[in-house]
């Protein structure tokens, strides 16, 4: 008989669908004083192919505490979760190595992806004003590429209310 852990684990397809529904991840970096530094980030999922699975990317200010922490120690744990009652809890936690991208064109491209995901109604393209705003933001930001080392997922709905 499968363990409870195995019963509630999500498949790659379920994880990709879940990440497509949710909007905020919590990023935990290692702070200078040894305390975890937890912060919310908007993100996009980039498909790296069946051999590697989904990869999460986010951007933040280059001078943020998250960035400074990751410059010292590139490890981060990130979590996306949903559900307000125990039997409805679901989520995924990734232990990652973070690659910080500083190249303006890379940061700008990610900013465009993020804006398209979080500001619906731009199916026909972004206006010149919006693109100019994203361009101005990209000059101050960096892109985080979260490279998965390990993951754990859970979907308590799979238990059918039986614990």
Structure confidence by residue, pLDDT tens digits, 89-111: 999 999 999 999 999 999 999 99
- Dist. CA 101–CA 161, nearest whole Å: 44
Torsion of CA 158, 117, 100, 103, to 10 degrees: 160
CB 58 within 8 A of CB 41: yes
Q: What is the pLDDT of residue 122?
A: 63
Phi-psi region at 62: left, alpha or beta (left = phi > 0; alpha = psi -120 to 50): alpha
Question: Is the pTM for the entire model greater than 0.85?
Answer: yes
Residue located via tokens 């973070």 = 98
CB contact at 8 A, 19 and 47? no
Domains of the chain: 4-159 (2.30.110.10)
pLDDT at 163: 63
- Give the residue-averaged pLDDT of 141-149: 97
Q: Which residue has the tokens 């363990």?
A: 3
Is the separation of the CB atoms in 95 and 151 below 8 Å?
A: yes
Instruction: Quick: pLDDT tens for 40-65.
Output: 999 999 876 666 677 899 999 999 99
Least confident of 99-113, 115-129, 131-145: 115-129
């Amino acid at each position: 008989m499968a363990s409870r852990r195995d019963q509630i684990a999500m498949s790659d397809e379920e994880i990709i669908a879940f990440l497509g529904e949710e909007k905020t991840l919590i990023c935990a970096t290692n702070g200078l004083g040894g305390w975890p530094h937890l912060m919310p980030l908007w993100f996009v999922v980039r498909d790296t192919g069946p051999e590697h699975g989904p990869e999460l990317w986010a951007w933040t200010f280059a001078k943020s505490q998250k960035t400074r922490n990751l410059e010292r120690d590139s490890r981060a744990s990130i979590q996306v979760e949903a559900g307000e009652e125990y039997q409805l809890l679901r989520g995924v936690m990734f232990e990652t190595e973070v690659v910080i991208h500083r190249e303006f064109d890379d940061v700008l491209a990610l900013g465009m992806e993020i804006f398209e995901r979080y500001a619906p109604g731009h199916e026909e393209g972004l206006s010149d004003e919006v693109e100019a705003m994203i361009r101005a933001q990209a000059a101050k930001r960096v892109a985080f590429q979260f490279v998965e080392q390990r993951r754990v997922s859970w979907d308590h709905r799979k238990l059918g209310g039986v614990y």
